[in-house]
Structure 1
């Protein structure tokens, strides 16, 4: 599809006074320099399902939240355009097939499949799933000696009870690490307990325990059932959401000007798109860095919430070997590395795909540090952990994939978490509409299910409903 291109003009960087009514002409006179104007309606002239009112919506971001909102709006008859900053759709659903099999760089599981809307979507598509049983594991200490499952199970119960006691008993917020040290100083220093705090809690939340809110780290909700993976790739779920929708990739949004009467103007590097409503699904990390300028600025409640909610990280190195060097049917391996968060959890892909693939995971502060290194260093570091478990003679993999979500300019992190000083309101207020023409969506706008694909999906549905109600 071709955008209708008007003549290029250079405009002075002058922001109009808030009291002045914005019009298309006023906006263009006071917008950024050297831009091309494009009309959303021109992009969709060949679309038969434009609403009778001619209402249009721009969606910033082609992750699951944005695509869900786009699907619902399109099905309701609205004109929709999705602008995606990167060169591919999916956001933090990113399936990589460079190893010859589907490897999930981002979202890897459907967490709690019972009544989960993502599981329902997978079932509708006939997606093949596999239950990754949490009870199917082997844990090694830092010397490579096996730790008995009985010890892990016993400490697991104590770990769960301690975290539950903290979560339900706090009257004043503090870092979870501080609360553990205060309530159970001896237990919190136990090597097995420390490993669980990282491999379970830091993995689950995406946060270092020294930044995690002791009051709210586990107050979110979950669906029931054991986690499942999508054998043929998580990205296959996106196919029905994208059918017939206008999506432009490599379109990083730089500025959004909005006004209840004049509508919305969304500026990329070279163009301005106009619509009646905009849904912004950019990840929290991008909002934190203020890479998108809002004119006028978002309300103070939204800005404060963006600052207070944390953006976490999880790092993966997926390694494909010529031969199998670990027990074939064991689902997970744990390693009690002495540095917290350092390659202490491993997913064995062999039970659900016919390939010798092992994914190493890092969390918390270590994740942030290791992602500043180059990929070869990350592999070398992960392989040191692998060789502790499976022997010093374990060869390097033939191929590997390493993730660096914190360094990606279009994500700047993996998913949100309850940081010390924030509360559920900070997540949920981000889903509240701004005036009559702007709403945010994404997993960070849904405290109940933050940090999950289904949370992002549900936020997209909510944003679409807000847009439709507002434009009625």
Structure 2
């Protein structure tokens, strides 16, 4: 029987839908410098991106004062990968959540000075369980080994031996000796190694623990006390609001993606910035604070002429990790009716026999209470597992995680009253979550630190016109909010000194 018109049209309609879905908002912007210069608005500084680095840069400029500046933010909110979500009494963080490192972290001091610092709960305050994915009890000794190995490989004296290999090799090597010397269960060894792998992907922000250069890892400076998870008591957007309050009204434009930066076409040596809203800005300086994931994907379309080959090469010597979150809430804590505590559930996989569509759950190694809200649970999903999760519907993700929780706890899990999951990989302005890393191949190709990524670009007039900020440009505190903040301040001071 021949195919009817409906049968022929359905695949075609599906293809057209995928093409429409894949279209980028900036693809509608065409034309050369000469097409846009006539309508250009004059600015001293244009900041591309209203994340923490962009806001910090603007705060620094305003204090000088450099007043003829504007932030152009592609999304409909400021903060970038700091994104607090509220629904009724529920507060969750889609992105950055903790202030790591205690009082040495400038964010700790800032939150404390604003009366917004939450101290972490003691370990004894949690309902702590160590289980297999099948619901049986797992050995706590395995958890202790994973934790000890994690901190062992943070030592510079240890990581120096892995400069020519991925950081994962350190974890693998140390895990073998630590596990065999501990009071551990032999039948759980491979399960705890997988757990450690997911632990590292979550906390370091990698897609694959064999990808990050040991040299890059070793350049990160820890402030100490990384296990002390302080938080902003009223949400991380308290930081966003603090920075925003220093910026005069009208200097931040939301939903205004930057689509073209003509950085070497102006006869006076300036740059011309064009947005998807068909606005043009002629400026002395452009400060680019966009995510490294976005830049890797769009730099050939964004910059005219293309960036110098050396900078393009260095951009491609990094990767941006992906870690998503799933949040679930109930009217009461089902895991314990009497005298409940926040749940902290550690999970290992002794077998890998989940149905294919549920295989993303292998990326979940912990389910825990969050933001000191007793009725709320949070799970991280890392790397390729996070990408698989993002490709599923909300309904499927919720169904899978509820089934998983029931199997691991051995309890009946009621339908949640709240569900939310992040999808940072699908976000075209980010394409990842919180931490960049120099890859092993990138290190071997010559990128030994992030310094070259923070170096301004000079045009043919000898003018420094493009400056860079963002966590990926911070050599010692990459992947952190304080690192992004510091990079914005540094770039703004570079611009001020060049004026």
Deviation at 1:123, TM superposition (A): 2.3
1:342 to 363, 372, 388: 363
- Taking the TM superposition and a 5 Å limit, the aligned residue runs for 1:445-456 are 445-456=473-484
Is structure 2 residue 152 aligned with structure 1 residue 143?
no
1:131-173 per-position Cα deviation (integer Å, ceiling 9, x unaligned): 2557864321222223343442244324544675862212523
Aligned to 1:100: 89
Select the structure that is richer in helix: 2
TM-score, structure 2 normalization: 0.78
Gaps of 5+ in 2: 1-27, 181-188, 353-358, 459-463
Of 287-296 and 364-373, the range deviating more from structure 2? 287-296
Alpha carbons 2:200, 2:209 under 8 Å: kept: no
1:358 to 377, 395, 398: 377
Is structure 2 residue 216 aligned with structure 1 residue 197?
no
Aligned to 2:310: 301
Deviation at 1:124, TM superposition (A): 2.9
Deviation at 1:469, TM superposition (A): 0.8
Alpha carbons 1:134, 1:332 under 8 Å: kept: no
Following the alignment from structure 1 to structure 2, what is the Cα–Cα distance between the partners of residues 231 and 11? 42
Count of matched residue positions in the alignment of Structure 1 and Structure 2 = 429
- Taking the TM superposition and a 5 Å limit, the aligned residue runs for 1:244-259 are 244-245=248-249, 246-259=251-264
Following the alignment from structure 2 to structure 1, what is the Cα–Cα distance between the partners of residues 107 and 207? 24
TM-score, structure 1 normalization: 0.83
- Taking the TM superposition and a 5 Å limit, the aligned residue runs for 1:153-232 are 153-158=144-149, 160-161=151-152, 167-170=159-162, 172-173=164-165, 175-177=166-168, 190-225=190-225, 226-232=228-234
Deviation at 1:67, TM superposition (A): 0.1
Q: 1:357 to 1:249 in 2, by over 3 A?
A: same
Following the alignment from structure 1 to structure 2, what is the Cα–Cα distance between the partners of residues 12 and 286? 19
Aligned to 1:322: 331
Q: 1:138 to 1:271 in 2, by over 3 A?
A: same
Alpha carbons 2:108, 2:117 under 8 Å: kept: no
1:419 to 423, 426, 439: 439
Alpha carbons 1:437, 1:470 under 8 Å: kept: no
Of 181-190 and 209-218, the range deviating more from structure 2? 181-190
Following the alignment from structure 2 to structure 1, what is the Cα–Cα distance between the partners of residues 291 and 38? 26
Aligned to 2:5: none
Q: 1:358 to 1:194 in 2, by over 3 A?
A: same
2:453 to 421, 430, 435: 430
1:408 to 411, 422, 427: 427
Structure 2 counterpart SS, 1:241: helix
1:91-131 per-position Cα deviation (integer Å, ceiling 9, x unaligned): 00000002532210000101112221222221232214132
Following the alignment from structure 2 to structure 1, what is the Cα–Cα distance between the partners of residues 83 and 312? 28
Aligned to 1:65: 53
Deviation at 1:293, TM superposition (A): 1.5
Deviation at 1:82, TM superposition (A): 0.4
Q: 1:69 to 1:366 in 2, by over 3 A?
A: same
Aligned to 2:356: none
Q: RMSD over aligned Cα, in angstroms?
A: 2.9
Structure 1 counterpart SS, 2:69: strand
